[in-house]
Amino acid sequence: MQKLFFAVFILNLSLAPSIVKSQENNYKTDSLEIIETTFSKAIAYTSVYYAASLFVLSKTWYKDQKVVPFHFYNDSRGYLQVDKLGHTYGAYVYSYIGYHYLLNSGLTRKEALYFGSTLGLILQTPIEIMDGIHEGYGFSWGDMAANTLGSVLVLGQELLFNEQIIKYKFSYSESSFSNKANGYLGKTTMERLLKDYNGHTYWLSAPINKLVDNTTIPPWLNIAFGYGANGMYGEFENIKNFKGADIPDTRRYRQYLLSLDIDWTKIKTDSKFLQMVLTAITFIKLPFPAIEYNSMGKFKWSWLYY
């Protein structure tokens, strides 16, 4: 997830105009010329983007890692599955954007769906393979399952409902645990965003008016169910020391949350720029009051959770 986090937001911002247009129109064409042109552009854009991403990863993420024979790594229990939800999130965003981009480019809905909705799995699989040949990592079937789920979430909803009723979203706040980790969870805000899974929350956001079949409720008002975890100073278990400093003895626990949210794509505006901005933040959970229940058996109320 850490390797993909910023890439999905950059891609979303760059293709936001295409997503806006696809949401406003229902493109249907059988023109072979349009289809060939669209695929040529899509393949070209994806190839350049992906080649650049892998190059950057090889010079940064894998820079000091030795290349070894292909091997597997079972990390399904790591970080109380927060990392896995991150993989699902990355694949969902890629697939969502891929589908809307192709839909806007002239393909029929069926063509755009089957080719675009698989983009998340296609783009993330080579990274898993790179993990499999580098020391300190490994090919993870858990990651692959999470990546597949992200793409299926886009494909399945379109097949069942003809739209993305449930939006998969992310929120982050710098956790109090990062300040006590002596840099283990990152020293800067940017590093902590990538390393501190205690601050990550992943949400399924759905429109209330469709859940209760009440058209008087605004279509943009959603209810959101979130998951996160806290108390983590390590992948499988907490470390006791980092760079000569003691790490607090902390209990790891899961968080289950209920909150409200806004579906930005349902807010209409005459401003194309504003519509593009709202679309670009489709995958961000809006700060709202929230009720939390955690695996320690405690309830907690937050006036503003993000």
Q: What pLDDT does residue 272 have?
A: 78
Q: What pLDDT does residue 40 have?
A: 63
Domain ranges of the chain: 1-164, 165-306
What ranges make up the beta strands (E) of the chain? 167-172, 200-207, 221-230, 241-242, 245-246, 253-262, 288-294, 299-305
Q: What pLDDT does residue 9 have?
A: 43
Residue 92 token pair: 């969902």
Q: What pLDDT does residue 61 have?
A: 64
| Nearest alpha-carbon partner for 253 in 217, 292, 215 | 292
- State pTM to two decimals: 0.84
Residue 262 token pair: 């806004």
Q: What pLDDT does residue 34 have?
A: 53
Alpha-carbon distance 240 to 237, whole Å?
10
* Beta carbons of 143 and 79 less than 8 angstroms apart: no
Residue 229 token pair: 């975890």
pLDDT averaged per 10 residues, the chain (length 306): 47 47 47 57 63 66 81 94 94 91 83 87 86 89 95 94 93 91 87 90 96 89 97 94 90 97 87 80 93 96 93
Phi, psi dihedrals of residue 70, rounded to the nearest 5°: -55, 130
Phi, psi dihedrals of residue 231, rounded to the nearest 5°: 75, 20
Q: What pLDDT does residue 46 have?
A: 62
| Helices assigned H by DSSP within 165-260 | 189-195, 208-211
Residue with tokens 């080579």: 126
C-alpha distances out from residue 202 to 42, 199, 238, 243, 255, Å: 29, 10, 22, 31, 11
Q: What pLDDT does residue 24 have?
A: 46
Helix (H, G, I), strand (E, B) or coil at 236: coil
